[in-house]
Amino acid sequence: MTTETPIPDTAPAAPGEVVLDARGVTMRFGGLTAVRNVDFTVRSGEIVGLIGPNGAGKTTFFNCLTGLYIPTEGEVRYKGQVLPPKSFKVTAAGIARTFQNIRLFANMTVLENVLVGRHTRTKEGLWSALLRGPGFHRAEAASRARAMELLEFVGLEKKAEHLARNLPYGEQRKLEIARALASEPGLLLLDEPTAGMNPQETRTTEELVFAIRDKGIAVLVIEHDMRFIFNLCDRVAVLVQGEKLVEGDSATVQGDERVIAAYLGEPFENAPGDEEVAEVEAAEAAAEPEADNTSDAVPGKENDR
Ligand SMILES: Nc1ncnc2c1ncn2[C@@H]1O[C@H](COP(=O)(O)OP(=O)(O)OP(=O)(O)O)[C@@H](O)[C@H]1O
Ligand SMILES: [Mg+2]
């Protein structure tokens, strides 16, 4: 029986549009290839995780996405447009970020820090600011109102007049998020947002990231806290020695043997029994003592300049 069935309107809900599309991104520093041929997409409505050992190239990749570095090879598009190779232009295009090593204006107030984050969204020019006419005052009032709204959103409204340097570490990280949001991004990149936070702060940050996504902002997050990552992310990509090793949902990534070997080191649950340990030790003893390739960790370094 042949029936002329009209194409049913039951296609799965269209995934969000691709907001970030990185193709073949490679970043070399002299002889070192920190990021190698990485393809990466983020769609609207997604929270995507980027994990990998120290020195894997995660921050470098962020720097390639945000104009801090110009990739040696490859192309990065945001909503279809190739990104300009300048940080402030990338921010203006709609990508905001926080930094692994917090970058706040320590001697400015919390509110002022957020206002700085709004500069790409305020139209008032130099003369208007100097002459301080009615246009300037209106724009300034609107900016302050928006900045206060964002401080409330991250839970810092009571600290608006405090100096940034007097905030505890966890709150400084939240202030960085508020400042990034002040540029009204469509995509937010978070580089280790819970580093140095206690478990309670980490949990509120998790909720904050969900709330950000619910506002229609896609999120790409680097973290070493696996519980945080796997609770939060729709999709996780693993970078090892600059290459994307695996990408998938939490279960896929957690169960991937290569990820366990390369990064996680051991299974989350069911630590190996004595038998398996003995087996591994025997295999290691039998293996030739080849070059040690486990020393990629570069603890405590700050590379996102
Ligand atoms: N500006 C730079 N010049 C030279 N080498 C760099 C530069 N930035 C990063 N690197 C090197 O690139 C590699 C990747 O570093 P990157 O900071 O991106 O790693 P990461 O995955 O963010 O690590 P971590 O988890 O420790 O933050 C490292 O070997 C690092 O030393
Ligand atoms: Mg890093």
Is the residue at 224 inside a domain? Answer: yes
Where residue 245 sits, what CATH number does that domain have?
A: 3.40.50.300
Same domain, 131 and 87: no
Instruction: Provide the domain limits for residue 119.
Output: 105-183
Q: Quick one: which ligand is closest to 29's CA?
A: 1
Number of domains in the chain: 2
CA of 60 to the centre of ligand 2 (A): 7
Is the residue at 281 inside a domain? Answer: no
Residue 202: partners with Cβ closer than 8 Å, 6 or more residues away: 194, 225, 228
Per-residue pLDDT tens digits for 64-108 = 999 999 999 999 999 999 998 888 899 999 999 999 988 899 999
CB-defined site of ligand 1, < 6 Å: 29, 32, 34, 52, 54-60, 100, 298, 303
Q: Quick one: which ligand is closest to 301's CA?
A: 1
Name the domain boundary from 183, 208, 237.
Answer: 183
Is the residue at 285 inside a domain? Answer: no
Same domain, 238 and 249: yes
Per-residue pLDDT tens digits for 157-210 = 999 999 999 999 999 999 999 999 999 999 999 999 999 899 999 999 999 999
Strands (DSSP E) found in 136-251: 187-191, 218-222, 235-240, 243-248
Is the residue at 279 inside a domain? Answer: no
CA of 34 to the centre of ligand 1 (A): 7
pTM: predicted TM-score of the whole model, two decimal places:
0.81
Nearest to 251 by CA among 265, 271, 233, 228: 233
Same domain, 67 and 211: yes
